[in-house]
Amino acid sequence: MEVICLEEPAFYKLIEKVVDRLKDQNKVQEDEWLSGEEAMQKLRINSKTTLFKIRDEGKITCVYASPRVILYSASSINEYLKAKSIK
C-alpha cells in the first residue's frame, strides 16, 4: 500500500480541481445569483465587511430579493476576479 501525504492547502486545491473537472465533464452550470456566503467563497474572502465594501463600491452586481436577502451576480464576480488577475 502506498501512502500520499499532502499539506492542507494542497489538499483543498486538489479537491477544487477535481470538482471543477467534474463540473466540466457533466456540464454543470452555476446559478447566476449567489447568496452572500457563496459569493464570499467564490471571492475567497472570510469577511462580510469586505463583501459589503466590494458591493457598495459597485465592483460587483447585486439584487435585493427582499429587505434581508441580497443576491450577488456570479458573472460580475467572475469579471471582478478577472480584472484583479495579474497577467
Residue type, 8: E
Task: Tell me if 21 is assigned to some domain.
Answer: no
Kindly report the backbone phi and psi dihedral angles of residue 34, in degrees, each rounded to the nearest multiple of 5, phi listed first.
-115, 150
pLDDT tens digits, 5-26: 889 888 889 898 988 888 777 7
pLDDT for the residue 73:
95
Q: Which domain holds residue 78?
A: 30-87
Query: How many domains does the structure of the chain reveal?
Result: 1
Give the C-alpha separation, 17 to 77, whole Å. Answer: 19
Q: Which set of grid coordinates corresponds to residue 32? A: 447566476
Task: Tell me if 75 is assigned to some domain.
Answer: yes
pLDDT tens digits, 55-82: 999 999 999 999 889 999 999 999 999 9
